Amino acid sequence: MSDDSFEPKIVGFLCNWCSYRAADLAGTARISHAPNVRIIRVMCSGRVDPTFVLKALSLGADGVMIAGCHPGECHYIEQNYKAMRRYYMLQHTLKAMGVEEQRVQLVWASAAEGQQLADAIDKLVADVKALGPLGWSKNWAENGDRIRALEDIVNEHKEALEVPR
């Protein structure tokens, strides 16, 4: 359900050597893109622990971007492959929890690819906007009146006859 006033909050983990530089390039080249991504620089996409993604979603993010160097171009040789494997593992789990796969996207962008990164950001924001807010923290709120349920217990305990030991 899309809502025109809904502005997704996206957290982006961008690797220092490629994708973060691409973001920088998009800035200096004055390429426009959606402003929704809060960018966090990590040294390598392989640094992104699934915990980071889950923490972002649980703290109110509607989507997450993980961006790294193209396969074969990782500054640390192979760690973007690790990122890829973790990403698929995580997606498999999120899907089982009912979280749509478009919310968490893995993107490759080299340092020269400012436009491509901007396009990827726009795509992610549009995808998440169409999906609507994630609202994770609300999904464990209790239906019904917990306080009244507890008060009922207190009251019915008081009503019962006293049977001392």
Partner 1 sequence: MKRISIDPITRLEGHGRIDIFLDDQGDVANCYLQIPELRGFEKFCVGRPVEEMPNLTQRICGVCPEAHHIAATKALDNVFHVDPPPAAKKLRELLYSIFVATDHTTHFYALGGPDFVVGPDAPAAERNIIGVIQKVGMDIAGRVLKMRRDGHKLIKMMAGRAIHPNWGLPGGVSCGLNEEKRAEIEKLGRDAVEFAKFSLQLFNDVVLGNSTYVDLIKHDMYAHQTYNMGTVDENNHVNFYDGKIRVVGPDGKERFKYDGKDYQEYVAERVEPWSYLKFPYLKQVGWKGLVDGIDSGVYRATPLSRLNAADGMATPLAQQEYQRFYETLGGKPVQPTLATHWARLIEVLYVTENWVRLATDPEITSSEYRVLPTETPTEGVGCVEAPRGTLTHHYVTDERGLVTKANLIVGTTNNNAPICMSVKKAAQGLIKKGEVNEGLLNMVEMAFRAYDPCFGCAAHTLPGQMPLEVRLRDPQGNLVQRLTQYVD
Partner 2 sequence: MSKTENMAATEAAEAKSKGKLAIYWAASCGGCEISTLGIDTKILDLAAAFDIVFCPCITDGKTRDVEKMADGEIDVCLFNGGIRTSENEYMAQLLRRKSKVLVAFGSCATEGCIPGLANLHDRKSIFDNTYQETCSTDNEAGVRPQSVTQVPEGDLHLPVFYDTLRTLDQTVKVDYYLPGCPPESDRIWEAIEAIMAGQLPPPGSVIGSNTTVCDFCNRTRSEKKIKEFKRTWEVIPDPDTCLLEQGLVCCGPATRAGCGCLCPQVNSPCIGCYGPPGDAQDFGARLMSALASVIDSNDPREIQAIIERGIPDPVGTFYRFSLAGSLLRRGKRPEAENGHGQQAATGGAS
Which residues contact partner 1 (rule: CB under 8 A)?
156-157, 159-165
Does residue 92 interact with partner 2 by CB under 8 A? yes
Output b/e per residue, 7-39; b: 16+ Cβ within 10 A: ebbbbbbbbbbbbbbbbbbbeeeeeebbebbeb
Part of the chain binding partner 2 (CB under 8 A), chosen from 4-12, 16-24, 34-42, 75-83: 75-83
Contacts of residue 149, defined as CB under 8 A and 6 or more positions apart, other chains included, come to none
Other CB atoms within a 10 A radius of the CB of residue 6 amount to 14
Q: Select from 23, 61, 99, 111 the one that contacts partner 2 (CB under 8 A).
A: 99
Contact by Cβ (8 Å): 80, 74: yes
Show the binding pattern over residues 16-55: x = contacts partner 2 (CB under 8 A), - = does not: ---------------------------------xxx--xx
Instruction: State both tokens at 132.
Output: 């609507």
142 touches partner 2 by CB under 8 A? yes
Cα-only R_g, the chain? 22
Residue 88 near which of partner 1, partner 2, none (CB within 5-8 Å, type-dependent): partner 2
**Residue among 28 and 144 whose Cβ is closer to partner 2:** 144
161 contributes a contact to partner 2 by CB under 8 A:
no
Q: Residue 2 binds which entry of partner 1, partner 2, none, with Cβ cut-offs from 5 to 8 Å by kind?
A: none
